[in-house]
Amino acid sequence: MATVTKRAGKSSDTNGTTKKGSDKLIYYFGQTRTDGRASQKMLLGGKGANLADMTSIGLPVPPGFTITTTSCELYYKNGGKLPAGLMDEVRKNVATLEKELGKKFGDNKNPLLVSVRSGAAASMPGMMNTILNLGLNDVSVAGLAAATGNVRFAYDSYRRVINMFGDVVVGVDHEHFEEAFDKIKRKYKAKLDTDVPEQGLVELCDAYKKVYEHHYGKPFPQDPLEQLELSIEAVFKSWMQPRAVKYRQVENITGLVGTAVNIQSMVYGNMGDDSGTGVAFTRNPSTGENKFYGEFLVNAQGEDVVAGIRTPLPVDQMPKWNKKVHSQLLEIKKTLEQHYRDVQDIEFTIEKGTLYMLQTRNGKRTGAAAVRIACEMVKEKLIDEVTAVKRIPASDLTQLLLPSFDPAAKKKAEVLTIGLPASPGAAFGKLAFTAAEAVDRTNAGETVLLVRKETNPEDIDGMHLAAGILTSTGGMTSHAAVVARGWGRCCVAGAGEITIDEKAKKITVNGKTFTGKDTLSIDGSTGEVMVGNIATQEPKLSGDFTTVMKLADKYRTMKIRTNADTPEDAARAREFGAEGIGLCRTEHMFFEGDRIQAMREMILAETKDARKDALKKLLPFQRSDFEGIFKAMKGLPVTIRLLDPPLHEFLPHDEKSQKEMATRLGVSPAKVKQRVSQLHEANPMLGHRGCRLAVTYPEILEMQVTAIVEAAINCKNKKIDAMPEIMIPLVGAAKELEVLRELTLQTIEKVIKDKKYSGKLDIPVGTMIEIPRAALTADEVAKHADFFSFGTNDLTQMTFGFSRDDINTFLPDYLRQELLLRDPFQTLDVSGVGQLVDMAVVKGRQTRDKLKCGICGEHGGDPLSIAFCNKVGLDYVSCSPFRVPIARLAAAQAALNQKKS
Ligand code: ADP
Ligand code: MG
Ligand code: MG
């Protein structure tokens, strides 16, 4: 933002006086002059900046001008009034436009018409509606008909502007216009909009004006400038409408001041069969294949192509219609990719055989496409390796790691119908018919598939929570498809054989009916819709994926470990490239099968000896678990955290289970009950847990350490290079660690002696830093720690005083009101919690020069948090197995971005 203002500030206006950049409210683009440039997205919005840019590089863009995002900001600062002088500037720019095109806005004979288009710095598909053909009225529509000799076209344009203006500016429901349209269609026995004859469209305009006046209470405004002013204001207003606010929230879009408004001279795709409109990607956004990819619709305007009004044709078939335009588009594909060095998502219109470009932006793509495109563009020398690494959104790699349907199971599946493969992946769920239903049922624990005719921005919530999205109309560029791809949510779109009865909550497909209780499966890579829930399988990774991972490893400096408690998880993470385990929790090892009995026996024991006896039974289980993990991770470090949760978590809390437990252990139910209530804590997460358990019951620590060391020795004797590291949780005071470390070291020595092991066995003993006090006194703590591992879940919990498990009762309010920009349990709170991490690293290393520091909280798999970890000099991040590839890429991006700054 600052740079934009500064650069604009250097330009001077015609009076020779230097205007501050923020004073200039409008930027013109056209043959007369072009004020804006591609880098001014914050000021001109993405659409406006690129319209200016495309004009500058000589592409055929209808001229127009962009009202800045700062004007929108001013509008809100003014309490909802257009900035002073804005309309004067608008009139000046309209005059320039008139001169350039030789037509007059508001002219009765051959009027200049414009579109009013919103466009913020971040792309928000479908969030704000465009108004086309603005400037028409009862008189000029006849003029337009005469000037073009095309009555049909003139009235088609007029009915559109009444509809769009009515819908967007004054809030007359689109449905009302649709009803009127349907009536006319019936009258003229027209199936499609294009079948309606001239006379029908003339009548339609009258009907639309009636609809408008009936629902709004005032007639459709006849003064073009009034139309324009109201439209501009409507765009500004749309910035704060709930669905836009919600979209920004879901997408984590912050820091924008408002939307720009683009006023652009019209070109007409609705002038007949030699005209049309389309959308395309310079490469396939689903697979990444380097092939021009898109759809177009003949004799149509604006959103017709994505709104599912008629079925568009794939651009492959364009040569049959107009060969020249098709090859022109292929030429533009090259020009745009050379210029932007990225895949472009374009919108274009053909007016009587002449092609016009109306939009370009970097194309959204699936994770798989991102990987393939990056690799191929490096090969094509369009971009270099570093750009390739930086460009792939690390989180999107999840999609490549998504499961697909097990081929054997799928072979047996009953395929109901095939729609468009809009967003890859495999999903199944029970049918939900509205977004609200999807939200409610998902929150209640069900897995649902959202089934809609077509989605719209109001459905965002439900789409986000549903396992998959299935629509019956709309193409590959429909709302559902675009949004789902952005999120990596599985989506099948345009499954036209499905009839949805939203009210009755059922769908019919080829004579079969399914309700909310039925489960369907959808394959987002093939478009198949199948009956029942089909087994899924893990993904196979492509060669391009391996290439990207290799590149990432070349540029990253941090190590990547994984959080894994089982040999299976450890092995999977290792396949994904994990270089060790950063957190191996031991508590689950106490739950499985018979172990829980021994554990409960231990908890009920009244003497130390009785406790030791019970622990003895647990020891072999733990030892063999560790052996399995060491084997899976041979040659790589495994950080094992000693028992952490409060003991009451291991006891049953309902009467029936307590009775069962009493019978099994041969004690009275009353005793079990008594122990349960004894262990009850008002605030167990701040209670008797972590190292506090070992302080009270050192024999638990002794047993665990014994199991670790014995397992390591057993492995070593079998030539398996076990590399355990022992981690003591929840330390708040250096003294706690001092005492427990001593006990740990003694135990290690004792086992080595007992086992008469003479080989090399070096087991570092470290601690988690997860209590603010430990971070504050890290220099003291480090005296007794061979390593630090930041447990940022607890650290966040205790720094904010937020209970992670209960945060959802108030977090949504915090995010809505922007008291917090992000959920601090997902992305590390850099300015608060981050300060503690930073400080602890610095202080720790004051005591121990090379103190190894890592992170094992959930943040270890979050790209933004990873960037922070890199900055404060952590040696590694540790995350769940499936996030390891993401972390590898994010760590490389962090290293590269840091090098730059
Ligand atoms: P969105 O941001 O929702 O994509 P746009 O502002 O891009 O909305 O407008 C949608 C469509 O309207 C464009 O793709 C284009 O087909 C049509 N359109 C917009 N402005 C013009 C124009 N000046 N002439 C012809 N068609 C236009
Ligand atoms: Mg657009
Ligand atoms: Mg913890």
Residue closest by Cα to atom 13 of ligand 1: 302
At residue 127 the predicted structure's pLDDT band, cuts being 50, 70 and 90, is low
Give the residue numbers marked as catalytic: 479, 856
Q: Range with the lowest mean pLDDT among 75-89, 179-193, 802-816?
A: 802-816
Q: Which of 385, 509, 438 is nearest to 896 (CA)?
A: 385
Ligand 1 and 267: CB distance under 6 A: yes
pLDDT of 393: 95
Question: Per residue in 245-262, is it b (16+ CB within 10 Å) or e — as a string?
Answer: ebbbbbeeeeebbbbbbb
Pocket test residue of 44, 55, 129, 132 for ligand 1, highest count of atoms within 8 A of CB: 132
* Residues 735, 251: Cα–Cα separation, whole Å: 45
- Which residue in the block uniquely carries the two structure tokens 């930086």? 390
pLDDT tens for 333-380 read: 999 999 999 999 999 999 999 999 999 999 999 898 999 999 999 999
* pLDDT over 70 (residue 79): yes
pLDDT bin (cut points 50, 70, 90) of residue 475 is confident
Instruction: Let me know the angle formed at the C-alpha of 175 by 171 and 180, rounded to the nearest 5 degrees.
Output: 110
- Residue 296 pLDDT exceeds 50: yes
Q: What is the pLDDT of residues 610-635, one digit of tens each?
A: 999 999 999 999 999 999 999 999 99
For range 225-233, the mean pLDDT: 97
For residue 426, report the distance from its CA to the centre of ligand 1, in Å: 33
Q: What single DSSP character describes residue 538?
A: P
CB of 347 closer than 6 angstroms to any ligand 1 atom? yes
| Strand intervals (E) in 714-822 | 723-728, 765-769, 787-790
* Predicted local confidence at residue 15, as pLDDT: 37
The DSSP element (H or E) to which 187 belongs, if any, is helix 174-187
How many residues in total does the chain contain? 901
Q: Whose CA is nearest to atom 18 of ligand 1?
A: 302
* Residues 118, 261 contacting (CB under 8 angstroms): yes
Residue among 55, 160, 349, 357 whose CB has most ligand 1 atoms within 8 A, to mutate: 349
CB-ligand 1 contact for 479 (6 Å cutoff)? no
Query: 22 pLDDT exceeds 70?
Result: no
Q: Scanning the structure block, which residue is given the tokens 């003591």? A: 728
Going by alpha carbons, the residue nearest to atom 12 of ligand 1 is 302
Nearest CA, atom 22, ligand 1: 266
Q: What is the pLDDT, as a whole number, of residue 881?
A: 86
Identity (one letter) of the amino acid at 762?
Answer: D
Looking at residue 823, what is its pLDDT? 85
User: How many whole angstroms separate alpha carbon 395 and alpha carbon 363?
Assistant: 17
Burial of 745 (0-12, 13-18, 19+ CB in 10 A): middle
Q: Which long-range contacts (CB under 8 A, 24 or more apart) does 47-52 make?
A: 47/117, 47/118, 47/119, 47/260, 47/262, 47/359, 47/361, 48/119, 48/260, 48/262, 50/359, 50/360, 50/361, 51/262, 51/264, 51/359, 52/27
Nearest residue by C-alpha to atom 15 in ligand 1: 302
Structure tokens of 535? Answer: 């087994």
If one compares 30 and 525, the residue with the highest pLDDT of the two is 30
- The residue among 191 and 756 whose pLDDT is bigger is 756
The number of helices, as runs of H, and strands, as runs of E, in the chain is 35, 33
Cα 793 to ligand 3 centre (Å): 6
Q: Shortest CA distance to 130 belongs to which of 76, 167, 178? A: 167
Residue 777 CB burial class (10 angstroms; 0-12, 13-18, ≥19) = middle
Residue pair 212/184 in contact by the 8 Å Cβ criterion: no
841 close to 853: Cβ distance less than 8 angstroms: yes
Question: Beta-carbon neighbour count of residue 753 at 10 Å?
Answer: 9
Residue 558 DSSP class: S
Q: Is the CB of 264 under 6 A from ligand 1?
A: yes
Mutate which of 359, 364, 478, 483 for ligand 1? The one with the most ligand atoms within 8 Å of its CB, which is 359
* Confidence bin at 424 (pLDDT 50/70/90): confident
Token reading at 584? 């191996």
Q: How far apart are CA 409 and CA 262, in angstroms?
A: 51
Distance, in Å, from the CA atom of 878 to the CA atom of 559, rounded to the nearest integer, reads 9
Rg (CA), the chain: 32
| Per-position DSSP letters for 408-427, written without gaps between them | HHHHHS-EEEE-EEEE-SEE
Tokens of 688: 């008797």
Are 145 and 192 within 8 A, CB to CB?
no
19 pLDDT above the threshold of 50: no
pLDDT at 895 over 70: yes
Ligand 1 close to Cβ of residue 752 (< 6 A): no
Helices assigned H by DSSP within 817-862: 833-847
Q: Give the per-residue pLDDT at 454.
A: 86
**Proportion of the chain above pLDDT 90, given as a percent:** 78
Q: Where does the pLDDT of residue 584 fall: very low under 50, low under 70, confident under 90, or very high at 90 and above?
A: very high
Closest C-alpha residue for ligand 1 atom 24: 266
Question: Is the sign of the CA dihedral 312, 314, 319, 322 positive or negative?
Answer: positive
Residue 900, pLDDT score: 74
Per-residue confidence band for 858, with pLDDT thresholds at 50, 70 and 90: confident
| Residue-wise burial string across 429-463, b where 16 or more C-beta atoms lie within 10 A, e elsewhere | bbbbbbbebbbebbeeeebbbbbbebbbbebbebb
Cβ–Cβ under 8 Å, residues 796 and 824: yes
Q: Is 773 helix (H, G, I), strand (E, B) or coil?
A: helix
With a 6 Å cutoff on the Cβ, whether 295 touches ligand 1 is no
Task: Give dist(CA 380, CA 387) in Å, integer.
Answer: 13
pLDDT, mean of residues 698-714? 98
- Residue 525: what pLDDT? 85
| pLDDT at res. 810 | 85
Q: Is there a contact between 572 and 639 (Cβ–Cβ < 8 Å)?
A: no
Residue 486 confidence (pLDDT) above 80: no
Burial of 234 (0-12, 13-18, 19+ CB in 10 A): buried
- Per-residue exposure over 543-561, b if at least 16 CB sit within 10 Å of its own CB, e if not: ebbebbbebbeebbebbbb
The span from the CA of 345 to the CA of 525, in Å, is: 20
Q: Which atom of ligand 1 is nearest to the CA of 114?
A: 23
Beta pairing class for 498-501 and 490-493: unpaired
Ligand 1 close to Cβ of residue 358 (< 6 A): yes
> Would you say residue 66 has pLDDT above 70?
yes
Task: Output the six-digit token pair for 387.
Answer: 């750009």
In angstroms, the first-to-last Cα distance of the chain is 17
Q: Which residue has the CA at smallest separation from atom 17 of ligand 1?
A: 302
Confidence category of residue 809, pLDDT binned at 50, 70, 90: confident
Range 775-779 contact pairs with CB under 8 angstroms and sequence separation of 24 or more:
775/836, 775/837, 775/839, 775/840, 776/836, 776/839, 777/733, 777/734, 777/843, 778/839, 778/840, 778/841, 778/842, 778/843, 778/844, 778/847, 779/843, 779/844, 779/846, 779/847
The finding on whether 266 has its CB within 6 A of some atom of ligand 1 is yes
- Evaluate: CB of 457 within 6 angstroms of ligand 1: no
pLDDT of residue 403: 75
Instruction: Supply 381's token pair.
Output: 């020398």
Which of 41-45, 205-209, 410-414, 578-582 bottoms out in mean pLDDT, i.e. has the lowest? 410-414
Cβ atoms within 10 Å, residue 379 = 10
Whether pTM > 0.85 for this model: the answer is no
Question: Is 448:442 a contact under the CB 8 Å cutoff?
Answer: yes
DSSP 66-93: EE-HHHHHHHHHTTS-PPTTHHHHHHHH
473 within ligand 1 shell (Cβ under 6 A) = no
- Give the residue from 45, 132, 27 showing the smallest Cα distance to 89: 27
| Candidate from 128, 130, 263, 345 with most ligand 1 atoms within 8 A of CB, to mutate | 130
Q: 477: Cβ below 6 Å to ligand 1?
A: no
Q: Which atom of ligand 1 is nearest to the CA of 359?
A: 7
Residue 168 is given by DSSP the state I
Cα 256 from chain centroid (whole Å):
18
Q: Which two tokens stand for residue 97?
A: 């436009």
Whether the CB of 132 sits within 6 Å of ligand 1: yes
CA of 776 to the centre of ligand 3 (A): 17
The rounded Å distance from CA 74 to ligand 1 centre is: 25
How far does the centroid of ligand 1 lie from the alpha carbon of residue 159, in Å? Answer: 17
pLDDT digits (tens, 9 = 90+) for 742-799: 999 999 999 999 999 999 999 999 999 999 999 999 999 999 999 999 999 999 999 9
CA of 99 to the centre of ligand 2 (A): 26
For the chain, give the mean pLDDT: 92
- Residues 445-464: pLDDT tens digits? 999 999 999 888 778 889 98
813-855 pLDDT, tens per residue? 888 788 998 889 889 999 999 999 999 999 999 999 999 999 9
What is the pLDDT averaged over residues 860-874? Answer: 97
Reading the block at residue 642, the tokens are 């000693």
Question: Which ligand sits nearest to residue 264's alpha carbon?
Answer: 1
Non-local (6+) Cβ contacts of 97 within 8 A are 30, 63, 64, 65, 105, 112, 114, 265
